[in-house]
A and B are shown apart, each in its own frame.
Chain A
């Protein structure tokens, strides 16, 4: 036996193979045991040990359970109703002029003012505008108003925007949509997280008014992070520049500006003609200057009788002394012979 180890390994392998081929047998009822237990009235694990438990139980249930009555069928507490058609145009007819869209007046005047002020503040501080459409908790968006299409139509141009459909008293139904310029930059998971955290903040509040407030505050915070994610955070100056084009953006106007505003409004139609006039005047001036620079000047030639015997010139001009700064040109203007000077 040169290789005893080889014999040992081969033997072990054969044993393992035989053990694998012999499966352990399932437990089975001994004769009389099951009958005895059934007589006692209860078989522990009977359903499991039945030959086809599923069939047995289903058949039993079907035969035993009575049909539910109409009153017993559970109905949702708040059945969903479609948004009244008269509001469709105000919600979905055009790009909102305000960051807060509430044509149904679901928010009180004070709440509306406060929420709008907050959204305006957000817009002045962030590169991403936040538009909020407010619906009743049980309202349903009509099928005709497809959100993606609306976002595409209204928010493709201009500043990046996040649009939130907020349901009063049911913040968990809220939905968020991003303008096309942000879609590629911010993943869906981030949008979902933003919405989820905002909803969590909202549902902690008992009052619908407080709910929307908490929702918007949290959403504004999350938008800040979206802004960073989209690489818009560096463009800090951009919101300031674009503030003029924002709807209802709070612009601090000087008193003088307020007084002059009517005049400014009146003069707006004249801006273009005035600009054209100025441009043409400027062009005219430039042209005149250019022509003057290129102009050639010729003096008329008159017959001049020679003086003092000079064949070419007798027009003596001035003489100036620059010997001393104490004798400025002004004091040398009157060029008279010394003997005529008064001292």
Chain B
């Protein structure tokens, strides 16, 4: 887990970035604190044509159908500096209400793809539901697939390719989670306290010493 501003690793349940002190409050200060109402596909930059929109919506629907808990949103808009796109995605997924998403799918289950055609950058953020299952590298793979298309300004093609890759990664992660859910659960469990660790070590030592004394007693009896 990384900070959207300084891209440094942060620990679980950090209310502020320990490196730069970033929190949602900073994002609110930059982008606005009020709630936004958006549609899942919001093309503020106007880079998608009618036919493109339909194709992209179809790809988004496909993911929602295969993963009934999840929804995908795509936002395009001019954001200014490249560095802001990560913070903007973080802020948008936290602060927006998606009108065309069923109520039973909260933003925790959302995956937001943000494209800034002006600064020519794109980012992908996801909600807490997918936190145990998706890595930064997974989202990077999805964006890499779209890179060639976006270079040629074929935005819709790029989005569709990115979503196809996302779908395959999600399928893989879901199967892994079904096989070994503990593995993913451990990733989001709160960190063990130091006292707990010491207690476990002492308990282990105690068990060892009990075993040793029992074995020496058996030898003496013999």
Contacts and interface: CB of A to CB of B under 8 A. Distances in A.
A89 interface: no
A317 B124 contact: yes
B96 to A, nearest CB: 9
A302 B185 contact: yes
B76 interface: no
A59 B176 CA distance: 124
A304 B143 contact: no
Contacts of A317: 89, 123-126, 134, 136, 138-140
Given A308-B16, A325-B151, A314 B128 contact: yes
Contact of A314 (B90, B170, B181): B90
B120 A297 contact: no
A332 B121 CA distance: 12
B140 A318 contact: yes
Contacts of B2: 316, 335
Interface in B74-101: 82, 85-86, 89-90, 93-94
A315 B67 CA distance: 19
A304 to B, nearest CB: 4
Interface string B159-188: 000000000001101110110010011001
Contacts of A321: 82, 119-121
Given A313-B126, A315-B125, A300 B184 contact: yes
Interface string B1-35: 11110111010111111000011110000000000
A295 B123 CA distance: 28
B93 A312 contact: yes
B107 A308 contact: no
Given A300-B177, A335-B140, A315 B126 contact: yes
Contact of A305 (B125, B181, B190): B190
Nearest to A322: B150
Contacts of B1: 307, 314-316
B188 A318 contact: no
Given A300-B181, A315-B125, A318-B123, A310 B94 contact: yes
A296 interface: yes
A330 to B, nearest CB: 8
Nearest to B13: A305
B82 A315 contact: no
A250 interface: no
Contact of A318 (B15, B137, B185): B137
Contacts of B128: 304, 306, 312-315
A333 interface: yes
Interface of A: 292, 295-323, 325, 328-329, 332-333, 335-337
- Nearest 5 Cβ contacts at the A-B interface: A317-B139, A318-B140, A312-B107, A309-B24, A329-B144
Given A304-B129, A315-B134, A318-B140, 18 more contacts: A292-B171, A297-B66, A299-B173, A305-B13, A307-B10, A308-B10, A308-B14, A308-B16, A312-B110, A312-B128, A315-B131, A316-B3, A319-B143, A321-B82, A322-B120, A323-B121, A325-B151, A335-B136
12 contacts: A296-B67, A308-B4, A308-B90, A310-B90, A311-B24, A313-B112, A314-B128, A316-B125, A318-B139, A319-B82, A320-B146, A332-B140
